[in-house]
Amino acid sequence: MTRFSAPIAEQIWDMKYRFKQSDGTPIDETVEDSWRRIAKALAAPEKDPEHWEEKFYGALENFRYLPAGRITAGAGTARAVTLFNCFVMGTVPDSMSGIFDMLKEAALTMQQGGGIGYDFSTIRPRGAEVKGVAADASGPLSFMDVWDAMCRTIMSAGSRRGAMMATMRCDHPDVEAFITAKSDPARLRMFNMSVLVTDPFMEAVKADGDWDLVFKGRVYNTVRARELWDAIMQSTYNQAEPGVIFIDRINQMNNLGYCEEIAATNPCGEQPLPPYGACLLGSINLAKLVKNEFEKGAKLDEAELDDLVALAVRMMDNVVDASNFPLEAQAEEARNKRRIGLGVTGLADALLMVGLRYGSDEAAAQTEAWMKRIARASYLASVDLAKEKGAFPLFDAKKYLATGNMMQMDKDVRDAIAKHGIRNALLTSIAPTGTISLYAGNVSSGIEPVFAYAYTRKVLQKDGTRTEEEVVDYAVQAWREKFGDKELPDYFVNAQTLQPMEHVKMQSAAQKWIDSSISKTINCPEDISFEAFKDVYMEAYETGCKGCTTYRPNDITGSVLSVSEPAKAPEAKAAPAEPTGGEVIYMSEPLDRPAELEGATYKLKWPDSEHAIYITVNDLVVGGHRRPFEVFINSKNMEHFAWTVALTRMVSAVFRRGGDVSFVVEELKAVFDPRGGAWIKGKYVPSILAAIGGVIEKHMISTGFLAGEGQGLKEDPQQQVVNLDAPRGKSCPSCGSFELRMVEGCMTCGSCGHSKCG
């Protein structure tokens, strides 16, 4: 017998969370060993660790409480990684030395596995005077490019790319350039971006008034507020960025408003944090707490919920003491405020199991009731911890209870805090749970609706063969086990069939009792009108949300995975007379090599190297278009032999999979050699690998695969699918499957759990 309810759950555990030796030999033989490892590590700070280890193990057992991935993978391993998921870095000084000090801190934080957020509003706008150097400022976006390049070189702990959030105030003089920055598909790819929208700005939008763009008291420009709002909306409508953060509401409702100012969030937006703020995450699996599912008396076991929340709060509070921190400033901030982010997953499944349609008024009311119960239980549990261990160091009862969030809390909770204090300044947050939801048996993610009730996934076996397995939503599987092939009730809806305003309704219902914020995606149909799209954001603002993230599939963002009905593969369109750069062809399996291919060979002479490197790129003609199929890299220098052979094999394997392979150029060109690069034809190239990337890029441009230098595709426009049984979206950069979907503000793979946000 296995604890895993689906093969994908065990695969996620083995790949992401199982403790192994450096050579891959498992240390955690079973998932029970993982639970024991975590429980033991988080019980260590207790006076009676053996007692609490058993209690914590019970909370983890059967996937009822799910610590975030950093904790699940790192607790009890003695590895030098942080158990915290979310960081906002220090305020960026408006000086060259200060900016690069911040860059160093960001690199150190990402090296340990932390996702980071930065507010770039503190950097003077482009063109502003720089005193003492007779020059004009280059502006915050130029420094964001530096951050972006740095992030490409940092591999986060657990082999995950670093994730970053950039924010800018709606009154910064460079906000218009910030809004459109990612319309360049090769720029700022490592960032999520959001505009900090203030209440006065929203009032000016409603009144169609003027809006000043200001830096340090100087008005640089005055625009129409509604035109600026429309620019934000148009960019988001077209390319899903920037997001919108209602920053005044965040600060007004912050329990710590008396001692901190928030201007940024972590990469997925669920944690608004002050400078050097840090927060850990964990989720209650609501789907595991429903009794008598699908029957008339089905309900969530509220007593079990209360007990589980109390244990989760205690475990998370102990993480503050057990974790490493990349920077001492982050450790001090965390210990002074002891902020935690307890959330939920499996909400949509739990609603289905009690017979409620996600997005309905009844489901919204039930969601609000469950969130309130979790809020009460978590605050009372933290009060109990304060009695035992003391309140957080910056606690001030009078000021704390006067904050916006605490003013709406029930009287008995407020009275308990006034009398005993509270251990954790903030307690609740709803984070992205894509990977841990798969690990828990494919429960619905966070507070998102079910994305797909079932889909087929190809799995690469150790012997190189591929098998297919069905991945079934947790609630659907429970229905099948109870009722067999009986048709699903009509209240089973998914993300594609819901109206955008139903998404907003659910986010708003949950937000009322979440003291931090929520990571959620509001799915919009491709044909939604621009005016209706703008209404979604205004509704989110008017109903109390702290931010808004939408996803509308189109030629820029790519298609969302369609699973509702089988469909035949679209027929290939007639090839145009001339090849057009950017057309993307997907192949369901790697193609066999034809006997003859068209190609070209390039000579690369690297300074101080005795022998030249020869690079051959051969192309395949598909649908009248040339696309790279293989590469050969050769040199007489035997010092290069191993890595050139490895690069030849890896790049060729990527090319033969099809899809948008322009990222190969981008990744190679981003590699720098710490020993120094070289000047080639008047241009600085940071490494031999970067030079090879430049050669491959040159070839792609000459064949029409790329439009020009630096024009690697961020997304997959004009995608065309070959030899597939159903329409596909973009391929996953980690596993190659076509299961990417926007979940909780992040492109996430439903097959392997890879997330753009790290």
CA distance 534 to 531: 5
Question: Does 755 fall in a domain?
Answer: no
What is the mean predicted confidence (pLDDT) over 302-320?
98
Do 418 and 531 share a structural domain? yes
Site of tokens 């619905």: 444
Residue 205: the pLDDT is 98
Query: Per-residue confidence at 737, pLDDT binned at 50, 70, 90?
Result: low
Question: Does 484 fall in a domain?
Answer: yes
Last residue within a domain, chosen from 568, 597, 617: 568
Site of tokens 């960026």: 92
Do 620 and 556 share a structural domain? no
Residue 585: the pLDDT is 45
Which has the closest alpha carbon to 657: 692, 680, 627? 627
Specify which residues 602 forms β-bridges with.
615
Distance of CA 10 to the CA centre of its chain: 22
Last residue within a domain, chosen from 568, 598, 633: 568
Higher pLDDT, 427 or 711: 427
- Which residue is catalytic, options 170, 268, 545, 735? 268
Do 368 and 315 share a structural domain? yes
Q: In terms of residues, how long is the chain?
A: 758
pLDDT beyond 80 at 219? yes
Residue 370: the pLDDT is 98
Under 8 Å CB-to-CB from 429, ≥6 apart: which residues?
270, 271, 279, 281, 341, 342, 343, 514, 515, 516, 517, 518
Q: Could you please report the per-residue DSSP string of 519-571? A: ---EE--TT--HHHHHHHHHHHHHTT-SEE-EE--BTTTBPPP--SS--PPPP
Residue 625: the pLDDT is 73
pLDDT beyond 80 at 130? yes
C-beta separation of 447 from 429 below 8 A = no
Q: What is the pLDDT of residues 80-123, one digit of tens each?
A: 788 998 899 999 999 999 999 999 999 888 877 778 999 999 99
Residue 574: the pLDDT is 33
CA distances from 426 to 70, 124, 382, 415, 475 (A): 20, 33, 10, 17, 31
CA distance 731 to 115: 23
How many percent of the chain have pLDDT more than 90?
59
Do 531 and 624 share a structural domain? no
Residue 650: the pLDDT is 87
Question: Does 416 fall in a domain?
Answer: yes
Reading the block at residue 161, the tokens are: 């790319």
How many percent of the chain have pLDDT more than 70?
84
Question: Does 754 fall in a domain?
Answer: no
Do 374 and 501 share a structural domain? yes
Which has the closest alpha carbon to 87: 65, 64, 111, 63? 111
Residue 655: the pLDDT is 84
Do 597 and 553 share a structural domain? no
- 268 catalytic residue (yes or no): yes
- 531 catalytic residue (yes or no): no
Q: What is the pLDDT of residues 521-531, one digit of tens each?
A: 999 998 999 99
Do 513 and 368 share a structural domain? yes
Do 625 and 539 share a structural domain? no
Reading the block at residue 184, the tokens are: 């360049």
Query: Which segments of 440-499 does DSSP mark as H helices, in order?
Result: 474-483
Reading the block at residue 70, the tokens are: 């950093």
Question: Does 463 fall in a domain?
Answer: yes
Question: Does 743 fall in a domain?
Answer: no
Sign of the alpha-carbon torsion through 311, 406, 199, 511: positive
Query: Per-residue confidence at 587, pLDDT binned at 50, 70, 90?
Result: very low
Do 542 and 482 share a structural domain? yes
Angle, alpha carbons 5-9-15 (nearest 5°) = 155
Question: Does 6 fall in a domain?
Answer: no
Do 591 and 485 share a structural domain? no
Helix (H) or strand (E) holding 197: strand 191-197
CA distance 82 to 23: 22
CA distances from 510 to 513, 515, 616 (A): 6, 10, 56
- Which residue is catalytic, options 85, 266, 442, 523? 266
Q: Are strands 191-197 and 164-169 parallel, antiparallel or unpaired?
A: parallel
Average predicted confidence (pLDDT) for the chain: 86
Query: Which segments of 95-198 does DSSP mark as H helices, in order?
Result: 96-111, 140-153, 175-180
Which has the closest alpha carbon to 33: 70, 68, 75? 75
Quickly count helices (H) and strands (E) in the chain: 24, 32
Question: Does 443 fall in a domain?
Answer: yes
- 86 catalytic residue (yes or no): no
Helix (H) or strand (E) holding 468: strand 466-472
pLDDT beyond 50 at 565? no
Query: Per-residue confidence at 719, pLDDT binned at 50, 70, 90?
Result: very low
Domain that holds residue 692: 585-722
**What one-character DSSP code corresponds to residue 17?**
I
Helix (H) or strand (E) holding 218: strand 218-224
373: domain CATH number is: 3.20.70.20
Last residue within a domain, chosen from 568, 598, 618: 568
| Percent of the chain that is helix, strand, coil (3-state, to 5) | 40, 20, 40
Residue 756: the pLDDT is 63
- Which residue is catalytic, options 53, 105, 270, 630? 270
Which amino acid type is present at position 607? P
Query: Which segments of 656-750 does DSSP mark as H helices, in order?
Result: 663-669, 688-702
Residue 717: the pLDDT is 30
* Three-state secondary-structure class, residue 498: coil
Higher pLDDT, 515 or 496: 515
Residue 27: the pLDDT is 96
Do 468 and 404 share a structural domain? yes
Residue 730: the pLDDT is 57
pLDDT beyond 60 at 2? yes
The total of structural domains in the chain comes to 2
Do 182 and 248 share a structural domain? yes
